[in-house]
Amino acid sequence: MSMTATARPVDGGLQHEVDVNGRHTIITDEPTALGGTDYGPAPHELLAASLAACVSTMIVTYANARDLDVSELSVDVEYDQTATPRKVRVVVHAPAHFTAEQLERLHRIADGCPVKRALEAGFSFEETVLPQPSPELRLLVAGRPDRDT
| Per-residue pLDDT tens digits for 32-68 | 999 999 999 999 999 999 999 999 999 999 999 999 9
User: Mean pLDDT throughout 119-133?
Assistant: 89
pLDDT digits (tens, 9 = 90+) for 103-122: 999 999 999 999 999 999 99
What lies within 8 Å, CB to CB, of 133 at 6+ separation is 141
Using pLDDT thresholds of 50, 70 and 90, give the confidence band for residue 136.
confident
Tell whether 32 and 77 lie within a shared domain: no
**Residue 144 covered by a domain:** no
Tell whether 36 and 59 lie within a shared domain: no
For 66-99, give one letter per residue: b (16+ CB within 10 A) or e. Answer: eebebeebebebebeeeeeeeebebebebbeebe
pLDDT of residue 139: 66
- How far is residue 107 from each of residues 21, 46, 111, measured CA to CA in Å? 30, 23, 6
Tell whether 34 and 51 lie within a shared domain: no
